[in-house]
A and B are shown apart, each in its own frame.
Chain A
Amino acid sequence: MKALVAVKRVVDANVKVRVKADNTGVDLTNVKMSINPFCEIAVEEAVRLKEKGVVSEIVVVSIGEKKAEEQIRSAMALGADRGILVETSDEIGALEVAKILKGVVEQEKPELILLGKQAIDDDSNQVGQMLGALLGVGQGTFASEVKVDGGKVQVTREIDGGLQTVELSLPAIITTDLRLNEPRYAALPNIMKARKKPLEAKTPADYGVATGTKLKTVKVEAPAERKAGVQVKSVDELIDKLKNEAKVI
């Protein structure tokens, strides 16, 4: 079966971001960019399913600026077979992303659609669910285990009280949680090979989707700073501070 994986180019998880002085957004000039960690887990899961013989082809798609090609190439270095870049430099919301992905799915007809559970920049946690609604297919969100069996997939989901397992008819959407797997490192020969894999260029208009969003960001601010704390030298001092100064115990 064919698997489609959506990946997003985001600021690297280890970067401490700074809010721009004019409060229009976060300063991303000269900041290291990477593939979103949850998307990387989605790619890894697709590759493992391919290694097990469940999946025969992995198509990776990204939506955004031209530079997102780098993230598609990294996904190919991990084992994806070919890529689609839906290029746009406009602002684009989660709903619009889901609509473009719907167009891609209708063209590619994958049985498994894998996404990360959330992007670490906007922290929305929406695209997979929205895509599920638009396609009218089932969703296994926050997956920590995926088992494909015939025309069905069993997904173990991380929920607030523990774990829940659901069974979905294929095609289905899976969004990955951190514990699903540990992504591999791309070996140099694979990185070289990934350069030669096919990468198709598309635009949102190819799927009849207009960019933009009805969710306008009015302002972006730094969060309130915490007052600097103090180092205590002993357990007695700590207890004294908690009882008499902070009054929390």
Chain B
Amino acid sequence: MSILVLAEHDNKTLNGATLNVVAAAQKIGGDITVLVAGEAAQAVAEQAAKVAGVSKVLLADNAAYAHQLAENVASLVADIAKGGYKYVLAASTTTGKNILPRVAALLDVSQITDIIAVENANTFKRPIYAGNAIATVQSDETIIVGTVRTTAFDPVAAEGGSATVETVGEVKDAGISTFINEEIVKLDRPELAAARIVVSGGRGVGSGENYHTVLDPLADKLGAAQGASRAAVDAGFVPNDFQVGQTGKIVAPDLYVAVGISGAIQHLAGMKDSKVIVAINKDEEAPINSVADYWLVGDLNTVVPELVSKL
């Protein structure tokens, strides 16, 4: 059985999420091929070849794949998959979610979103209803296409493998979509989805200015990534890629510190698999307290600075 994994990258570096997907592929068992579709992405293919457990890397290097446009990449992936792969996997990132359902439809098969566990070769677990229920699904399709929730699988080693790199000459340019531009938020802190500690702020922090005044020192002290609830993002305190939740990023760090977050269902869906959850909130009845390991009732504007000074 062979498994095709679509690499996540920015044409320069292989994204860590790919290592989690390879880990999920290993749980299924079989020969693992990683497809790197991009432009001037030779370095990414070389990194992918070193990943433990990967037996082959396919590099499709063309301007048509430079920005991971779903229209072009999906038809490439579907074509390669038809050449004898039993599984097609990608990370449940915005890129994976954009491309894979298109691949599935081109292959005329159903897709499984957000795999969190591999039961056997065709049975998987995935969360539904904002993580309030876990469904076990069995795919009777000839090719199983799925996205993997990266926080549910420990990454494989980035070094140690020695896969061969093959070039794919085929170019798929549908000509129906064009990349215009990208605004990437520059951060000095660890990436949210991969951080060991996350400090998150909600509506309770009051303003964008206060978010940074109060939470930046704490995040710096802990070496943490910063997150936010949907309420804080919608209020414009921080950009949307800070959002943790059902419709934002799913995180599962060792420590999640929720500051001024009430704990709506949609937020809990994104963080309740964290190892230790701390809630700092002035409301004793806040729903976040029901999932927190430790909660402290108090004014975040005095509690957080005190915490920073004593750490």
Contacts and interface: CB of A to CB of B under 8 A. Distances in A.
A167 B230 contact: no
A239 B280 CA distance: 13
Contacts of A166: 67, 69, 177-180
Given A17-B129, A217-B137, A223-B133, A125 B113 contact: yes
Interface stretch (B36-44, B104-112, B160-168, B204-212): B104-112
Contacts of B193: 160
A117 B240 CA distance: 15
Given A98-B105, A129-B98, A144-B240, A230 B293 contact: yes
Contacts of B294: 229-232, 238, 241-242, 246
A83 B252 CA distance: 42
Interface string A223-241: 1001111111111101101
Contacts of B289: 229, 231
B95 A159 contact: yes
Contact of B101 (A129, A157, A217, A221): A129
Interface residues of B, number: 87
B296 A214 contact: no
A159 B249 CA distance: 10
Contact of B239 (A162, A217, A226): A162
Interface stretch (B21-29, B48-56, B82-90, B302-310): B302-310
B311 A123 contact: no
Given A126-B101, A162-B184, A137 B176 contact: yes
Contacts of A169: 176-177
Interface in A110-134: 117-118, 120-134
B213 interface: no
Given A132-B70, A178-B230, A231-B296, A138 B105 contact: no
A223 B101 contact: no
Q: Which of B97, B110, B230, B255 has the most CB of A within 10 A?
A: B110
B95 A242 contact: no
Contacts of A230: 293-295
Interface in B71-107: 71, 74, 93-95, 97-106
A133 B74 contact: yes
A26 to B, nearest CB: 5
A220 interface: yes
B290 to A, nearest CB: 8
Contacts of B70: 129, 132, 139, 141
Given A161-B184, A164-B67, A217-B136, A239 B249 contact: no
Contacts of B290: 228
A41 to B, nearest CB: 11
Interface string A175-186: 001110000000
A180 to B, nearest CB: 11
B1 interface: no
A131 B102 CA distance: 8
Contacts of B159: none
B278 A242 contact: yes
B241 interface: yes
B110 A93 contact: yes
A142 B98 contact: yes
B289 to A, nearest CB: 7
A206 B297 CA distance: 59
Contacts of A228: 290
B71 A121 contact: no
B102 A248 contact: no
B98 A120 contact: no
B139 interface: yes
A132 B103 CA distance: 10
A221 to B, nearest CB: 5
B180 A123 contact: no
A79 to B, nearest CB: 23
Contacts of A178: 230, 234, 247
A123 B307 CA distance: 37
A130 B104 contact: yes
A233 B293 CA distance: 13
10 contacts: A124-B101, A214-B110, A214-B140, A230-B294, A233-B296, A235-B307, A235-B310, A241-B294, A242-B294, A246-B293
